[in-house]
Amino acid sequence: MPIVFVSCALLIYINFLSLRIMSANRAYINGESHYSKGQKDAVRHLIAYLYNGYEREWQSFYEEISVPLGDNIARKALLAHQPDSIARMGLTMGRNHKDDLGDIIWLFKNFKWVPFVAKAIHEWQLADTSITQLQMVAGELHARRQQTKALDSTEQHVFFERITALGQELTVRANNFSNVLGEGSRQSKQILLYANIFFILIIIGSVSSYYVSTLNNLTRSKNEIESKNKELLHTNSELDRFVYSVSHDLRSPITSLRGLIGITHRETNLDQIKANLQLMNQSLIRQDEFISEILDYSRNKRQEIHIQPVNIERLVSEVIAMHQHIEEAKKISFNIEMPVTEIDADRARLKIILSNVVSNAIKYSDPKKTHRFITIKSFDREETHHISVEDNGIGISKEDLPLVFDMFFVTNSNKGSGLGLYIAKEVIQVLNGSIAVESEIGVGTTFTISLPQRYV
C-alpha cells in the first residue's frame, strides 16, 4: 500500500511541476515577443533617425531598446545570483506581465541546467551581445549626428548596413530562442505524459495486486472458518452424545434408589431392609464414581498442563489405597516393580490415568482364580517412560478389544459407566503420550501407558 501513496504523491507533484513549467514557458515566449518587438521597433526608429536625424526618432529608439536591455539586466542578475528585485526590475522594463515574473525567475533558477533551457539562455545571451553592439552603433550614429547635421550617403550606407546586419542577427536569435523553447516544451510534455502513464500504471498495478491479495486472504480465512466450523460441528455432536448419555447415566441410579425405597417401604423383614440399604449404597457409589469421572473429564479439558518431578512409586501406592474400599480389592495381591521411580509428568493427570486402569483391573478380576494379582511396572525404552498394569483377570474378547477406549463403551453396566478408559485415553493424548492394551480372554489384560521423557 505505501507504494500507492508514494505514487499518488509523485503524480500530484509532477503534474503541479508540469503546470508551472508550462506556465513559465508561456511567459518566456511572451517575453521573447516583447523583446523581439522592442528590438525591431528600435532598429526601425534608428534607421529613421539615420536618414532624417529627428531627435524624436532617437528618443523612440531609446525607449524601445530599453525592452531588450531590461531583459539583459535580469539575465545577468540571475546568473550572478543577485537579489530577485533586480531581475524583477529588469523584466518589468522588458514589458513582461507582473504576474509572470515569479514563474520566469523560478524556471531560470531551478532549470537553467536543463539542456533546452541552457540552450535558450545561450541564445538570449548572444542576442544581448548583438543588442549591446546595436547600442554602440546607435551611440556612434548619435555622436556623428551631433557633429554634422548632414551625413553623406556613403556613411549613411555603412551605418545602414551595420544596423540591418545586427537586426537580422537578432531576428535569427529570436527565432532560435522560440524554437528551442517550443521544442523543449514539446519534449517536456512528452516526458510528463509518459511519467503520468507510468505512475498511473503503478497505482493501478498496486491497487489490483492489493485487491488480489485481499481476495486471497478472504478465501483463506473462509476456508479456515469452514474447517473450524466442521471441527465445531464434530465437537458439538460429540457433546450431544455426551450429554445424552450423561443425563441417562446420572438419572439411572436415582430411579434405582426410588425403586429400592418403594419396596423397602413395604418390607417388614429387618434383614431384607438391611440388604436393600446395602443396594442403595451401591447405587450411590455408582453415581458418585460417575460424577468424579465427569469432573476428571472436564478438568482435563480445562486445566493447564503442569509438568513436575513425580515419584511414581508413591503415586501408584496412593492409587491402590484409593481402591481398597472395593470388596474385590482385598482378594487381590498387588506387586509394584519400579526401577524407575521418578519421572517428569503432570501428577494430577497421571493419577487419573493410573486410577482408571487400576480400577478396571480390580473390577474385572477373575473370581475363579485362586491367586489373583495386579502387577505394576515402570521401565524406560526408546526415550519414553512406560508404566504397565498387568492382571490375571477375566480378559477382554477380541471383538471388544478395539472398542475399550470408546466413550461409554461397556460390557457390563454394573461395573462402570464406560467413561473411565475413554478419559484415560483423552488425558494421555493431552500429555503427548499413548495407551495400549493387550488381552486374552480368561488369561488377563495388560495396559501400557507411554509418556515422553521430556516436555519442550
Given the complex with another protein, which of 283 and 360 has the nearer CB atom?
Answer: 283
Given the complex with another protein, which of 106 and 242 has the nearer CB atom?
Answer: 242
Candidate segments 147-155, 158-166, 247-255, 326-334, binder of another protein by CB under 8 A: 247-255
Number of residues that bind another protein (CB under 8 A): 24
Binding mask 188-227 for another protein (x = CB under 8 A): ----------------------------------------
Given the complex with another protein, which of 111 and 408 has the nearer CB atom?
Answer: 408
Rama region for 447: left / alpha / beta (φ>0; ψ in -120 to 50; rest)? beta
Contact 344, 304 (CB under 8 A): no
Rounded Cα distance, 150 and 51, in Å: 9
Question: Could you say which of 47, 91, 260, 345 contacts another protein (CB under 8 A)?
Answer: 260
Residue 286 Cβ vs another protein, minimum distance, rounded to whole Å: 8
Give DSSP secondary structure letters for 183-246: HHHHHHHHHHHHHHHHHHHHHHHHHHHHHHHHHHHHHHHHHHHHHHHHHHHHHHHHHHHHHHHH
Give yes or no for residue 247 binding another protein (CB under 8 A).
yes
Given the complex with another protein, which of 56 and 258 has the nearer CB atom?
Answer: 258
Residues near 333 by Cβ (< 8 Å), separated by ≥ 6?
A: 371, 372, 373, 374
Give yes or no for residue 414 binding another protein (CB under 8 A).
yes
Tell me how far CA of residue 228 lies from CA of 216, 293, 298, 393, in angstroms: 18, 28, 21, 43
Candidate segments 36-44, 124-132, 202-210, 253-261, binder of another protein by CB under 8 A: 253-261
Give yes or no for residue 53 binding another protein (CB under 8 A).
no
Bridge-based pairing state of the strands 444-452 and 342-346: unpaired
Please, what is the Cα angle at 349 between 344 and 353, to 5 degrees?
A: 105
Residue 263 Cβ vs another protein, minimum distance, rounded to whole Å: 5
Given the complex with another protein, which of 67 and 246 has the nearer CB atom?
Answer: 246
Residue 208 Cβ vs another protein, minimum distance, rounded to whole Å: 54
Residue 356 Cβ vs another protein, minimum distance, rounded to whole Å: 18
Contact 374, 335 (CB under 8 A): yes
Give yes or no for residue 251 binding another protein (CB under 8 A).
yes
Given the complex with another protein, which of 388 and 417 has the nearer CB atom?
Answer: 417
Strand partners, 377: 337, 388
Candidate segments 18-26, 71-79, 93-101, 242-250, binder of another protein by CB under 8 A: 242-250
Residue with C-alpha cell 440388604? 275
Helix, strand, or coil here: 399?
A: coil
Given the complex with another protein, which of 103 and 249 has the nearer CB atom?
Answer: 249
Rounded Cα distance, 27 and 19, in Å: 12
Question: Could you say which of 72, 283, 359, 378 contacts another protein (CB under 8 A)?
Answer: 283
The Cβ of residue 400 has, within 10 Å, a number of other Cβ atoms equal to 15
Candidate segments 108-116, 351-359, 386-394, 406-414, binder of another protein by CB under 8 A: 406-414
DSSP state, 371? S
Question: Could you say which of 23, 252, 311, 317 contacts another protein (CB under 8 A)?
Answer: 252
Give yes or no for residue 263 binding another protein (CB under 8 A).
yes
Burial grade of 189 (CB within 10 A; 0-12, 13-18, 19 or more) = middle
Candidate segments 177-185, 248-256, 324-332, 356-364, binder of another protein by CB under 8 A: 248-256
Give yes or no for residue 367 binding another protein (CB under 8 A).
no
345's enclosing H/E stretch is strand 342-346
Give yes or no for residue 282 binding another protein (CB under 8 A).
yes
In the complex, which residues of this chain contact another protein (CB under 8 A)? 244-245, 247-248, 251-252, 254-256, 258-260, 262-263, 266, 279, 282-283, 409-414
